[in-house]
Structure 1
Amino acid sequence: MSLRQRLAQLARRLQEPQKVARFQRLCGVEALPRRSAAPATDPREDETAEAPLAGDARRREPQPGASAGPQPPGNDRNQCPAKPGGGGGAPNGVRNGLATELGPASPPRVGALRRNSLTGEEGELAHVSNWPLYYLFCFGTELGNELFYILFFPFWIWNLDALVGRRLVVIWVLVMYLGQCTKDIIRWPRPASPPVVKLEVFYNSEYSMPSTHAMSGTAIPISMILLTYGRWQYPLLCGLILIPCWCSLVCLSRIYMGMHSILDIIAGFLYTILILAIFYPFVDLIDDFNQTHKYAPLIIIGLHLALGIFSFTLDTWSTSRGDTAEILGSGAGIACGSHVSHNVGLMLDPSLDILPLALPPITVTMFGKAILRILIGMVFVLIVRDIMKRITIPLACKIFSIPCDDIRKARQHMEVELPYRYITYGMVGFSITFLVPYLFFFIGIS
């Protein structure tokens, strides 16, 4: 057997869903027995009871005018764990008012089912016996979600080091964009369920290879250490410990959640290392260009918009397209905001003469200002996001004559989703690097 054949055989083994299911069982996650609906007198109730059990394949709705592509992923049934104490759910496995049978060994842990607000997809209950691991991996998977990004990058820019924050965003945008586009080119489905238990529904309509969670979970800690070591005084050992802990937590969480095979994770990790090896030397140049070039805002907006349009042509509709536009919009907004801030002298980087920077002693005043900046800044950012969302979706629907009675369906059109995500998160990024720092300067907490 040649080396190529051995590698192909190894790749097939690493892609097997049985290995994902085995890891889940090792961590205390098991699928509950298939539920059968109780007899219903009303035929409509019977249909309602059978709907989540029929295993209907949920398909992406193709964009009007788009050519039919390969069968997309996401037609597996998702499963979601029960929570201890039964908070927010119906007791004893009751769902939508219909009694279901969970089997004699079913645990009394039943909770609300998580729902994907964009696709309407809903998960199912699963038996989780190791709750500390469940919450640990939930935290790990959140390190690659929007909530983390919208807190992490502003915290760096407002409280720690704006230069490091900006350059982290440049790397994050590049890595995530290449990862999302590669997914839509390779088009490998998510691990099959069963045997895998799907603990997450939010990204199930996307393709699987490579894992963009693994990519961001690799790129961010490595880049953070590369950007800060030598600029700040701290033990290198701390950074060398942080990288494997962060990376392994995010990567293992995606296998635990049933979203990726082992091969997806390894490919995402190696792909990120390759991207960093090629593009990291140019990060300083890109950041300097964004801040100082006369026509930087026009080039930034045009380039990111063109990349977004290109990514939308790679495949039919899925949640990944909106995520890609969101990433590009955020990157463009942060870059444009940093350009304006630099030109008005609002957020100037420290002189190279005083490097490396010493970690200042943490005082009550410093801690209080940091908390105040986060609270005020995040409220401002969330208000901007909500306002832009309310404006852009109806406006795009009106301009392109798309019915907006059903927002979920309207957003499956490129003409709505791309401007909504790009403009909304472009303004969010612009607020993070210009509007909010200006507000801090105005009220005296900069």
Structure 2
Amino acid sequence: MSLSQRLAALLVCLRDPQKVASFQRLCGVEEPRLHGADAAAPEERGGRNPDRSADPEGGGGKLRGCGARNGVRNGLPEAGGDTATAKAGERESEATLQNRVQGLRRNSLTGEEGEVFGVRNWPLFYLFSFGTELGNELFYITFFPFWIWNLDALVGRRLVIMWVLVMYLGQCAKDVIRWPRPASPPVVKLEVFYNSEYSMPSTHAMSGTAIPLTLVLLTYGRWQYPLMYGLVIATCWCSLVCLSRIYLGMHSVLDIIAGFLYAIFILAVFYPYVELIDNFNQIYKYSPLIIISLHLALGIFSFTLDTWSTSRGDTAEILGSGAGIACGSHVAYQLGLVSDPPLDMLPLTIPSITVTRFGKVILRILIGMVFLLLMRIVMKKITIPLACKMFGIKSDDIRKARQYMEIELTYRYITYGMVGLSITFLVPCLFYFIGLS
């Protein structure tokens, strides 16, 4: 067998959904065996026929029955099946049903819900549920502001620059390669929020690789701490996020490996220019016009979708947030609201935690997050109807209207642009006036 054939066979093996299903079973994920009334008519409940193959895209998750196992089909003994085996199967079914969980993160735009599944290892379930949140919006909207408001604004700004580059290029790669999610069955879909997106590469894996590694690159030498601590934390962070996506049934092993390597490649190419980009954003007089125009053009012209998915909206959020944070840092710098420590003060020492300092951190987080959430809610309420009126699209069904490209790009870009502007300008202004700077 030639080298190319071996490589092709390896790629096919790494993409095999059975590998994902095996990892899920190893970690204690299983489909609950149905019996009694629950098993009478799975299709009447809206569930998929367990004997049918899944949509190659991964399909919307529904409660599924199981085939014949141990002389039991859906909890009822098969003709000729051993009675003791059937009873044992029923007891096992009951134990599994007691531990069944509805899938995570229902998609409000499509109405999809994750499958109902059984859990035999709750610590791993909570660990990987936390790990996947490290690549979701809730984490980003709290983590980046925390760095900018409380720890180191320079590190926070440059971290966002790299995050935008990595996530944007990752989303574009997905829509160029267009590989579907792992097939279900055999994979159990624990989460369907991103199920409409393509699978290759995993942008969760890219984010989970880029953020901790960029933090180490930005902070080592600027802050005093042992390098080994940073590398250990980065490794654990990256591993947790990557494994969580396999656990949830959203990516193949190949998707994860490709996402990890792609993120490393992007860091190697663009990280040397992050200081230049940050200085341009702050100092150059017309940088806001260039930033807004560039980010908007990338969102409109970079790629097209054959069908709707959450990918386009996520990309608009990423670009809008990045543009808003960059423009906010420009305004804040020009007004003298933000000043980075001089070079002769480096490396910085981690300050001791006092009651006063801890209290200010908590107040900044509470006040700042309330401001951001209110800004997000208000901007959505304003921009969606306004965009519908501007483009002549009926707003009776908001869910459907939000899937039009004109509406989706407009409201997400403006909404998250204002959120980003708030992070680096409006909220710091508020802190300045109330004495929390």
Determine whether 1:121 maps to 2:129.
no
Residue 75 (structure 1) aligned with residue 62 (structure 2): no
Counterparts in 2 of 1:361 and 1:22: CA distance versus 1, 3 Å:
same
Superposed counterparts of 1:350-429, under 5 Å? 350-429=341-420
Name the structure 1 match of 2:30: 30
Distance 1:158 1:14, change over 3 A: same
Is the CA contact 1:300–1:332 (under 8 Å) kept in the aligned structure 2?
yes
Query: SS where residue 231 of structure 1 aligns?
Result: coil
Q: Quote the offset at 1:49 in angstroms.
A: 3.0
Give the one of 257, 260, 263 matched to 2:248: 257
- The aligned amino acid for 1:248 is S
Query: 1:303 corresponds to which letter in structure 2?
Result: L
Q: Following the alignment from structure 1 to structure 2, what is the Cα–Cα distance between the partners of residues 291 and 425?
A: 20
Shift of 1:32: 2.4
Change over 3 Å in CA distance of 1:394–1:357 after alignment to 2: same
Hey, what's the Cα distance between the residues in 1 that align with 2:60 and 2:13?
21
Q: Give CA-to-partner distance per residue, 1:13-69, whole Å, 9 cap, x none.
A: 0000000000011000012247897699xxxxx8983423358x9xxxxxxxxxxxx
From the superposition, tell whether residues 7 and 437 of structure 1 become closer, same or farther in structure 2 (CA, over 3 Å).
same
Once residues 156 and 391 of structure 2 are traced to their aligned partners in structure 1, the CA distance between those partners, rounded to angstroms, is: 37
What residue is the counterpart of 1:51 in the other structure?
46
1:29 to 1:438, Cα distance in 2 relative to 1, 3 A:
same
Which residue of 1 is the match for residue 11 of structure 2?
A: 11
Provide the C-alpha distance between the structure 2 equivalents of 1:76 and 1:290, rounded to a whole number of angstroms.
Answer: 42
- For residue 99 of structure 2, what is the aligned residue in structure 1? 109
SS of residue paired to 1:374: helix
Match of 1:170 among 161, 166, 169: 161
In 2 relative to 1, CA 196–366 (structure 1 residues): closer, same or farther, beyond 3 Å?
same
Aligned residues of 1:172 and 1:216 also touching (Cα < 8 A): yes
Q: Distance in 1 between matches of 2:39 and 2:192?
A: 29
Judging changes above 3 Å, is the alpha-carbon distance between structure 1 residues 154 and 284 closer, same or farther for their aligned structure 2 residues? same
Identity %: 73
Conserved in 1, the CA contact under 8 Å of 2:56 and 2:182? no
Paired amino acid for 2:143 = F
Asked if structure 2 preserves the Cα contact closer than 8 Å seen for 1:76 and 1:192, the reply is: no
TM-score by length of 1: 0.87
- Structure 2 residue matching 1:105: 3-state secondary structure: helix
Contact 1:78 1:193 in 2 (8 A): no
Q: 2:276 aligns with which of 273, 276, 285?
A: 285
Please report how far the alpha carbon of residue 103 of structure 1 lies from its aligned counterpart in structure 2 after TM superposition. 5.7
1:153 is aligned, of 144, 148, 154, to: 144
Give the secondary-structure state (helix, strand or coil) at the position aligned to 1:53: coil
Offset, 1:135: 0.2
CA contact 2:387–2:411 (8 Å) conserved in 1 = yes
Q: For 2:170, what is the secondary structure of its paired residue? A: helix
CA contact (8 A) 2:144 2:156 kept: yes
Looking at structure 2, the residues matched to 346 and 156 of structure 1 have their Cα atoms a distance apart, in angstroms, of 16
Q: Deviations over 1:387-417 (max 9, x none)?
A: 0000011111111111111111111100100
CA offset at residue 76 of structure 1?
A: 5.2
- Aligned 8 A contact 1:21 1:197 in 2: yes
Q: Secondary structure at the match of 1:220?
A: helix
Change (3 A) 1:384 1:116: same
Question: Are 2:360 and 1:333 aligned?
Answer: no
**Higher mean C-alpha displacement, 336-345 vs 2-11:** 2-11
Q: 1:132 to 1:443 in 2, by over 3 A?
A: same
Q: Which residue matches 2:309?
A: 318
Q: CA separation in 2, counterparts of 1:337 and 1:39?
A: 57
Greater Cα shift, 313-322 or 393-402: 313-322
Question: Whole-Å Cα distance in 2 between the matches of residues 234 and 216 of structure 1?
Answer: 23
Residues in 1 aligned to 2:252 and 2:407: alpha-carbon distance in whole angstroms: 33
Q: 1:212-227 residue pairs with structure 2 within 5 A?
A: 212-227=203-218
Q: Secondary structure at the match of 1:127?
A: strand
- The gaps in structure 2 that reach 5 residues or longer are 65-88
Query: CA RMSD of the aligned region, Å?
Result: 2.4
CA distance in structure 2 between the partners assigned to 1:392 and 1:36 by the alignment: 50
The total of aligned residue pairs comes to 409
Distance 2:251 2:421 in 1: 33
Residue pair 1:231, 1:356 contacting (<8 A) in 2 also: yes
1:181-196 equivalences in 2 (<5 Å): 181-196=172-187
Shift in alpha-carbon separation, 1:349–1:164, aligned structure 2, 3 A: same
AA partner of residue 386 (structure 2): L
**1:209 alignment partner in structure 2:** 200
Answer whether contact 2:208 2:237 (CA < 8 A) is retained. Answer: yes
Provide the secondary structure at the position in 1 that maps to 2:44.
Answer: helix
Tell me how far apart the structure 2 counterparts of residues 301 and 340 of structure 1 sit (CA, whole Å).
14
Q: Closer, same or farther in 2 for the Cα pair 1:399/1:306, shift >3 Å?
A: same
Unpaired runs of 5+ in structure 1?
Answer: 41-45, 58-70, 81-101
User: 2:3 is matched by which residue type in structure 1?
Assistant: L
> How far, CA to CA, are the matches of 1:334 and 1:103 in structure 2?
56
Distance 2:305 2:108 in 1: 24
